[in-house]
Amino acid sequence: MENFRNNGLMFCRTHSVMLEKETLSTQKTLLHDLYYDQKQSPWYDNLRRPVSDLKPLIEKGIRGVTSNPTIFQKAISSSNAYDDQFRQLIKEGKTVEEAYWGLVVKDIQDACKLFHSTYEESRAEDGYVSVEVSPKLAHETDETIEAAKWLHKVVNQPNVHIKIPATAECVPAIKQVISLGINVNVTLIFSLPRYEAVIDAYLEGLETSKNSDLSKIASVASFFVSRVDTLIDKRLEALGTEEALALRGKAAVAQAALAYKLYQEKFSGPRWEALKARGAQKQRLLWASTSVKNKAYPDTLYISPLIGPDTVSTMPDAAVEAFLDHGKVARTIDMDYAEAQRVYKKIEELGISWADVGSSLEMEGVESFLKSFDDLLGSLEKKAAAL
């Protein structure tokens, strides 16, 4: 009888383990493979209420969240989920802009709490939620520093990333904010020279930091992708030659690959090793603007060719769905630097200035976020008047 019991107990345990493995295997997705097989972290480029809607995405493998003024403009203006809190903030005597930040900070705090376990388990590598300083400050160095300090303080979560644009005026702000031990997501990077300036600002910020342990300072550099093709494709089509048209849909990925090459070079050698000895983390490259604008292109064009270790890919809803459905997980980002260099060089030879592309897209990005910010404040003004 004792033997039977032991055998029965062993069967139950074995069956339980089998069921657990079966459950895990059904829950595992390509997003999990992306991280565990290739060390690329998939993040979600959206945030709205109810913030609890992020839970199924976390279960599917999402490891962080990015937001921007356009995302909040869409979320707040298209939902009544913010009305009660907005009404209360206005009743308390807050201005419309103060009320806006109250709504945003609440969402960021709630999202940070949902990702806190990811942050802890990854030892401060993942689990971040990004919130951007006011787009009105894109060309103001000192005001950006103060805004970043204020947001960091008011959100009061260890896994918040303060988003600062990579404008010429804000690059010095990045150095200063990093030196203060504040996590930064550098956004609106469209060119290799500006990306190198951003890396240098991060390294200088770490070097001047008074923190003896740098391990809790985290940063990502958001390198924008699809918008590059949108602009360069137009210029290639204007040229109209067979040689020019053959390069459509290739510029963005080529430049991104060269950005990764630059990343590998800058985060190696004596300078980096000295910071690493103090516990510093690498400033990971984050691929932003990964949604495909041209319907003629594959819907994973800005995800699948940019897979590599120590990177982040932030994806809006459509990109997440597309990759979960038919994405391919393999290291691709550094497979052919020679081809990336050929495409990059050929575009310049055709008379398309990469410097002009970068400055045009930066200006367009700043203006787009500012318009979303102003539009939302305008609609909130009307709502406040109605209240």
Beta bridge partners of residue 315, listed in sequence order: 44
Cα 183 from Cα 161, distance rounded (Å): 5
- Catalytic, out of 149, 163, 293, 382: 163
Residue 45, CA distances (Å) to 30, 48, 265 in order: 17, 11, 28
Burial of 273 (0-12, 13-18, 19+ CB in 10 A): exposed
- CA dist 239 and 377 (Å) reads 41
Please check whether residue 373 is in contact with residue 134, taking contact to mean a CB–CB distance below 8 angstroms: yes
Catalytic site includes residue 328: no
d(CA 35, CA 209): 30
Determine the Cα–Cα distance for residues 226 and 86; give it in Å rounded to an integer. Answer: 35
Residue among 288, 326, 282 at smallest CA distance from 306: 288
Q: SS3 for 347?
A: helix
Catalytic residues: 163
